[in-house]
Amino acid sequence: MRKALLKDSLKEIRNTYKRFISILLMAFLGVGFFAGMRAASPDMISTIDNYFDSQNVYDIQILSTLGLTNEDIEALEQVEGVKKAYGEYSEDVLINYEDTEIVTKVLPIDNINKVALINGRIPQSKNECLIEKAFCDRTGKKIGDSLNIEEANDSIIKEKRITIVGTMNSPLYVSRQRDTSKLGSGMVSYNMYLPKESFDSEVYTVIYIELENSKQMITDSQEYNNYVQEVTTKIEEVKNKRETARYDEVKAIAQEKLEEGEAKFEEEKTIANNKLKEAENEIIEGEKELNSAEITLNNKSKEAEQKFKLAEENIKIAKSKIKEEEEKLEKEEQNAFSQIELLNKQKQDLQVNLQSINTNIEELQKKLDIINESLNNNNLTQEEIASIQVQKENIEKTLTNIKVQKTQLESGVLSINNVLEKIQNGIKEGKEKLEYAKTTLENNKKELNKTKELTNKQIENGKQEINTSKKQLQEGRKTFETNKVEYEEKIKEAEKELLNSKQKIQEIEHPTWYILDRNSNPGYSGFMQDTKSIENLGRVFPIVFFVIATLISLTSMTRMVEEQRVQIGTMKALGYNKAQIASKYLLYSGLACLIGGSIGMIIGFETLPRIIWMMYSMMYVVPNFVASFNVYFAILGLGIASVCIIGASLYTLLKIVGDTPAQLMRPKAPKSGKRILLERIPFIWKNLSFSKKVTVRNIFRYKKRVFMTIVGIAGSTALILTGFGIKDAISDILIKQYENVYNYDMQISLKSDLEETIIENFVKNLEEKEEINKIAEANMTSGTLANGESEEAVQIIIAKDEKINELIHLSDRKTKKEVQLEEGKIVITDKVAELLEVKKGDSIILKDADGKENRLTISDIVENYIYHYVYMPKSLYEQLYGKYDTNVLFAQNNVKDEQEEELASKLLKEPNINTVSLSSNIENVMDDMMKNLNYVVVILIVSAGMLAFVVLYNLANVNISERIRELASLKVLGFYDKEVYDYVTRETAILTTIGIIFGLIGGYFLSIFIVKTCEINVLRFGQEIRIPSYIYSVAITVIFTLIVNIVTYFALKKIDMIESLKSIE
């Protein structure tokens, strides 16, 4: 390019900077939006790819119906492409927290799927764990606190008291979604990681495979998917062998166990039989012993009786002897008495004699005494003394005689006394002897009686003893009999069990390996789905901008080229060639495009992916977002913008540079007026005011501009409406779910394994509570619906009775008519029906948590917005799975929203309640999510607003410059500023109105399209845009129009009337 030409070009930019900027802005918006939106998805993917690489997330996982072994790992590591295979465990447990049980999935810490530590440290001992932060937030537990794991049968986790040592994020669970569980509410609430040693299991739950080259590839890229597919195919080759090996192994183990069981059974049977026999023998012996004891006792008692009889007889004999003796003694006594009488008489005689002797003696004595006295008397003569002496001698002689006599008498008395004494003694002796005999007899008698009593007592005791023994023995026999029956039953049972085990061995199914890639991870696949949605958005939105950018450049450049007709003609006349002339304009638009595009690109790459990420980070836990500069999209974006903008310029130039200089230098005839169709309809045309006629004619005069205005306004209105529409669609979910479908305020899940009567009473209790309005019982479990290859996780709700109809409305999505459950059929929700491509009346496979499959007919498809549900009549449930039991209650309360929390915590204190979830809480959480959506709306509105502004501004500029003569003439004619303004903007107003109408229609479809592409599997977005959104969209567009009009007003005011005098250039 010549220097002069370049200078001219640059000057042109400075002089017409408004036009330049408007093209620049379009390039900015187009490229910025394109680059930002398109880069968002790859940025998100590379972010998750980085995260997965750093956490060493598996490429392939293998699950088996019979568990996996070290041999499997060895076999897998032999497969080409496999770098390492990791055997891992997982187990769902219940953690006791206050009065609730929290379903928690326990996973091992390992080098595959490495957890990202947030706080604390990695566990070092068996009873230390890492847990999700959300768990701590909910329970208020901190690092260092302990948790109790509820005891369960066959648990492979032995430690029951675990200490939290840190919080983590698991790369396996990037979304908020957790796995389904057979425990509790049917859903895992949180994940927990324990050291691998804490698991005690012979088989692995899952094998994760790390591939050789996968780290170098971007996850979910074609290359990566092909590579994974390739290795999967190779794994398929070992699959069968390993499955069979595992089958044989399991069967062998079971067989061994069975044999062991049988042996043990036999052994135990023998032992038991022996014991039984022993017991029987003991009883028999006991009986024998008892019998002999009885006999001995009888004998003894007989003997004793005889002895007593003898003794009694002896006593009788003794008695009669005593009588005889008594009689004898009496006789003897009588004899003795008579003897004694005689003796006594003799004695009396003797005594009388004695007395007389004694008196004689006394008299003699006295005489002697007198003699002696007389002798002593000195007065007596000797003769007298001799006489007296002789007298004395006589007397003394007589006295001696008498004394002899007396002695004789006395000895007589003595002998009589002796005899008497002898006799009396004899009697006494006899009496005494008799007395003694009598006493002895009496004693003997007494003794005999005592002995008799004692013996009788002893016999009685013995008898009693024998009786108790007998009773005991009888009881013993009874117990023995029952034991025997029991034992026999047990044996029968054991035999049955053995038979069962045998059958089970027969029934052991051939194991199946499930070889799954990352897409089977719900968080990951959800994330990938979302990146696809974003990608789709990125494909649609920028188109609007590019189309409008093209139109804007087209009109701007056309105008510019036309304005410079004469100059172009002059240059041509001066000898510049086509390319040289065109280069000025191409440089002009090219520069605008490049500068605007580059700025847009940089801003787009930096901001849009980040904003989108910010929104998605509410749903996903993937750290370290990477906003990259994507060369491909940069070049593509700039390329498209260049094609649009420079292409548009080229198009206008081609039309003009072909003309001869003479043609160019002659003024171009102004666009001629034409009658329009409307004029041929007089009754409309005549009723239009003059100014309206002018407006209408003008609209039909500048078709290109009209088209551009309408497209521009329609585009921006559509974008704004789409922004609001997306918000409506998502916020609708809640409103519709909680107004159209759910009428309950609380979902109460009960503790597991409560008895029926307890539940019944409990529900009755709740019903009577003032705060509770309505309540309904149901059973809620998780399951899977499958149709062909596609599967979706669902919640199965089985209502106990009709009460549920007031709390959950089942209604046809289209007709809104209420739907009743039909016997033997199920009702499913609309989104899952759509995903699985089934209709009313089709049959579908329902898998329960245990993997049991049933093919069922769909009686109806009902309206639903959040998650997927299957409603099943109770009768069908009982037919399929046996007894129904309530595990969840749906309730409507009477309290105000603010008091609901209080009610919930009050209810939680009930021992039977596990959790209470308030609908209002879920609504709040969702509301927060909705707030993030406002970002989207803001982005869309701002960019749409900019678009509208650029379009309108540009339009106004073109409009003015194109008609400057006309407008100046009007001013000369004496039009007030306001009239000139009206003259111009009436057109704009009409075009804007038309544009808005098209925009609303377009926006409606665009937002439906976008909502469809963004829709998450488990949600059904609303498809209605609410009236206020239409109003806002219109209002925003109108505001932008007004702003532009104000600018126009001042531009019009500045128009110099002298322009009208100039000749037409």
Contact string 812-851 vs another protein (x = CB under 8 A) = ----------------------------------------
Neighbours of 83 (CB within 10 A): 13
Q: In residues, how long is the chain?
A: 1065
> Taking the complex as a whole, how short is the minimal distance between the CB of residue 698 and another protein, in angstroms?
6
C-beta separation of 551 from 707 below 8 A: yes
Q: Closer to another protein at the Cβ: 925 or 1061? A: 1061
Q: Closer to another protein at the Cβ: 5 or 566? A: 566
Q: Residue 1012: CB partners within 8 Å, gap ≥ 6? A: none
C-beta separation of 236 from 75 below 8 A: no
End-to-end CA distance of the chain: 27
Candidates 133, 141, 196, 693; binder of another protein (CB under 8 A) is 693
β-bridge partners, 240 = none
Angle, CA of 628, 632 and 636, to the nearest 5°: 125
Cα separations in angstroms, 694 against 220, 699, 959, 982: 60, 9, 15, 11
> Taking the complex as a whole, how short is the minimal distance between the CB of residue 954 and another protein, in angstroms?
22
Distance CA 680, CA 1042 (A): 33
> Taking the complex as a whole, how short is the minimal distance between the CB of residue 1049 and another protein, in angstroms?
14
β-bridge partners, 211 = 82
Q: Does 698 bind another protein (CB under 8 A)?
A: yes
Distance CA 828, CA 792 (A): 12
Candidates 686, 690, 815, 911; binder of another protein (CB under 8 A) is 690
Q: Closer to another protein at the Cβ: 673 or 788? A: 673
> Taking the complex as a whole, how short is the minimal distance between the CB of residue 964 and another protein, in angstroms?
11
> Taking the complex as a whole, how short is the minimal distance between the CB of residue 731 and another protein, in angstroms?
48
Q: Closer to another protein at the Cβ: 697 or 874? A: 697
Q: Which stretch binds another protein (CB under 8 A): 26-34, 147-155, 468-476, 693-701?
A: 693-701
> Taking the complex as a whole, how short is the minimal distance between the CB of residue 707 and another protein, in angstroms?
18
> Taking the complex as a whole, how short is the minimal distance between the CB of residue 979 and another protein, in angstroms?
7
Distance CA 886, CA 891 (A): 14
Name the token pair of 354: 């004695």
Q: Residue 836: CB partners within 8 Å, gap ≥ 6? A: 785, 786, 787, 790, 791, 792, 844
**How far is C-alpha 814 from the geometric centre of its chain's CA atoms?**
35
Q: Closer to another protein at the Cβ: 134 or 688? A: 688
Q: Closer to another protein at the Cβ: 572 or 971? A: 971
Q: Closer to another protein at the Cβ: 281 or 691? A: 691
> Taking the complex as a whole, how short is the minimal distance between the CB of residue 565 and another protein, in angstroms?
16
> Taking the complex as a whole, how short is the minimal distance between the CB of residue 1050 and another protein, in angstroms?
14
Q: Closer to another protein at the Cβ: 510 or 692? A: 692
Q: Which stretch binds another protein (CB under 8 A): 273-281, 544-552, 689-697, 787-795?
A: 689-697
> Taking the complex as a whole, how short is the minimal distance between the CB of residue 714 and another protein, in angstroms?
25
Q: SS3 letters for 954-1001?
A: HHHHHHHHHCHHHHHHHHHHCCCHHHHHHHHHHHHHHHHHHHHHHHHH
Distance CA 590, CA 582 (A): 12
Contact string 1001-1040 vs another protein (x = CB under 8 A) = ----------------------------------------
Q: Would you call 338 helix, strand, or coil by DSSP?
A: helix
> Taking the complex as a whole, how short is the minimal distance between the CB of residue 567 and another protein, in angstroms?
20
* Residues from 610 through 629 that contact another protein (CB under 8 A): none
C-beta separation of 40 from 534 below 8 A: yes
C-beta separation of 26 from 553 below 8 A: yes
* Residues from 1041 through 1060 that contact another protein (CB under 8 A): 1057-1058, 1060
> Taking the complex as a whole, how short is the minimal distance between the CB of residue 1061 and another protein, in angstroms?
6
Which DSSP state fits 819? -
Q: How big is the site for another protein, counted in residues (CB under 8 A)?
A: 33
Got the DSSP string for 695-725? HHHHHHH-HHHHHHHHHHHHHHHHHHHHHHH
Q: Which stretch binds another protein (CB under 8 A): 256-264, 513-521, 697-705, 884-892?
A: 697-705
Q: Residue 461: CB partners within 8 Å, gap ≥ 6? A: none
Q: Closer to another protein at the Cβ: 935 or 975? A: 975
> Taking the complex as a whole, how short is the minimal distance between the CB of residue 6 and another protein, in angstroms?
24
Distance CA 37, CA 636 (A): 13
Q: Closer to another protein at the Cβ: 236 or 1056? A: 1056
Candidates 290, 665, 694, 1016; binder of another protein (CB under 8 A) is 694
Distance CA 427, CA 196 (A): 118
> Taking the complex as a whole, how short is the minimal distance between the CB of residue 974 and another protein, in angstroms?
3
Candidates 249, 979, 982, 1024; binder of another protein (CB under 8 A) is 979
Q: Closer to another protein at the Cβ: 806 or 979? A: 979
Q: Closer to another protein at the Cβ: 53 or 966? A: 966
> Taking the complex as a whole, how short is the minimal distance between the CB of residue 965 and another protein, in angstroms?
6
Q: Does 692 bind another protein (CB under 8 A)?
A: no
* Residues from 957 through 976 that contact another protein (CB under 8 A): 965-966, 968-976
Name the token pair of 213: 């080259």
Q: Closer to another protein at the Cβ: 368 or 984? A: 984
**How far is C-alpha 274 from the geometric centre of its chain's CA atoms?**
51
Q: Closer to another protein at the Cβ: 141 or 701? A: 701
* Residues from 658 through 687 that contact another protein (CB under 8 A): 669-675
Distance CA 982, CA 577 (A): 44
Q: Closer to another protein at the Cβ: 15 or 359? A: 15
Distance CA 686, CA 1049 (A): 30
Q: Which residue has the tokens 């017991």?
A: 279
Contact string 700-739 vs another protein (x = CB under 8 A) = -x--------------------------------------
Within 13 Å, how many C-alpha atoms sit on residue 999's CB side? 36
**How far is C-alpha 875 from the geometric centre of its chain's CA atoms?**
27
Q: Residue 953: CB partners within 8 Å, gap ≥ 6? A: 18, 22, 1044, 1047
Q: Which residue has the tokens 């700025």?
A: 599
Q: Closer to another protein at the Cβ: 436 or 976? A: 976
> Taking the complex as a whole, how short is the minimal distance between the CB of residue 1054 and another protein, in angstroms?
12
Contact string 222-241 vs another protein (x = CB under 8 A) = --------------------
C-beta separation of 336 from 427 below 8 A: yes
> 872 phi and psi, to 5 degrees?
-130, 135
Name the token pair of 377: 């008397």
> Taking the complex as a whole, how short is the minimal distance between the CB of residue 9 and another protein, in angstroms?
23
Can you give the binding site for another protein, defined by CB under 8 A? 669-675, 690-691, 693-694, 697-698, 701, 965-966, 968-977, 979, 1057-1058, 1060-1061, 1063-1064
